[in-house]
Structure 1
Amino acid sequence: MSASRGWAKIVEQYRTMHQRVVDELGRRIVNGLVEPDRSLPVEEKLAGELGVSRGVLREAVKALAAKGMLRSRPRTGTRVLPQECWNHLDRDVLRWQQTCEPRQLLTETCELRRAVEPEAAGLAARRAGPGHIQAMFEALVAMESAAAHPGLGEYVEADIAFHRALLDASGNRLFGSLGRAVDVALEHSFAVSSQTPGAVEASLPAHRALAEAVRGGRSAEASAAVLAIIESAEQEIARSPAGQG
Structure 2
Amino acid sequence: MATLLDVTTTPAPDRNYRRDGVHGRLVHELGRRVIDGRYPIGDALPTETALVDQLGSGRSAIREAVKVLTAKGLVKARTKVGTVVQPESCWHLLDPDVLAWRYQNDPSDKQLEDLGGVRVAFEPEAARLAAGATDRGGIAAIQREYLLMEQTIDDPDEFIGHDLAFHAAIVHTGGNQLLEQLSALMSAAFAAARQVHTRNVRRNKRTLAGHRAVLDAIVGRRVDEAAELMRVLVTGAQHDIRRDLRSRPRGDAHARA
Matching residue within 100, 110, 116 for 1:110: 116
- Structure 2 CA distance, aligned partners of 1:62 and 1:160? 34
SS in 2 for 1:65: helix
Q: Give the gaps of 5 or more residues in structure 1.
A: 1-13
Q: Which has the higher contact order (CA 8 A, sep 6+)?
A: 2
Q: Give the gaps of 5 or more residues in structure 2.
A: 1-18, 249-254
1:68-217 alignment to 2 at 5 Å? 68-72=73-77, 77-98=82-103, 99-127=105-133, 129-147=135-153, 150-217=154-221
Instruction: Verify the 8 A CA contact 2:31 2:69 in the aligned structure 1.
Output: yes
Matching residue within 55, 64, 67 for 1:59: 64
Q: Residue 229 of structure 1 aligns with which residue? A: 233
Question: How many angstroms does 1:134 deviate by?
Answer: 1.4
Question: How many angstroms does 1:118 deviate by?
Answer: 1.1
Q: Cα 1:243–1:190, aligned 2, differ >3 Å: closer, same or farther?
A: farther
SS in 1 for 2:138: helix
User: Is residue 36 of structure 2 the alignment partner of residue 23 of structure 1?
Assistant: no
SS in 1 for 2:129: helix
Question: How many angstroms does 1:136 deviate by?
Answer: 0.9
Q: Cα 1:181–1:114, aligned 2, differ >3 Å: closer, same or farther?
A: same
Give the TM-score, by structure 1 length. Answer: 0.83
Counting aligned pairs with the same residue, the percent is 34
Question: What are the superposed Cα offsets for residues 157-197 of structure 1, whole Å, 9 maximum, x if unpaired?
Answer: 10111111111222211110111111111112222222234
- Structure 1 CA distance, aligned partners of 2:242 and 2:125? 24
Q: Residue 218 of structure 1 aligns with which residue? A: 222
- Structure 1 CA distance, aligned partners of 2:76 and 2:134? 43
More helix by share: 1
Q: Cα 1:97–1:204, aligned 2, differ >3 Å: closer, same or farther?
A: same
Question: What are the superposed Cα offsets for residues 185-244 of structure 1, whole Å, 9 maximum, x if unpaired?
Answer: 111222222223411111112111111211221111011111111122123223335874
- Structure 1 CA distance, aligned partners of 2:25 and 2:63? 13
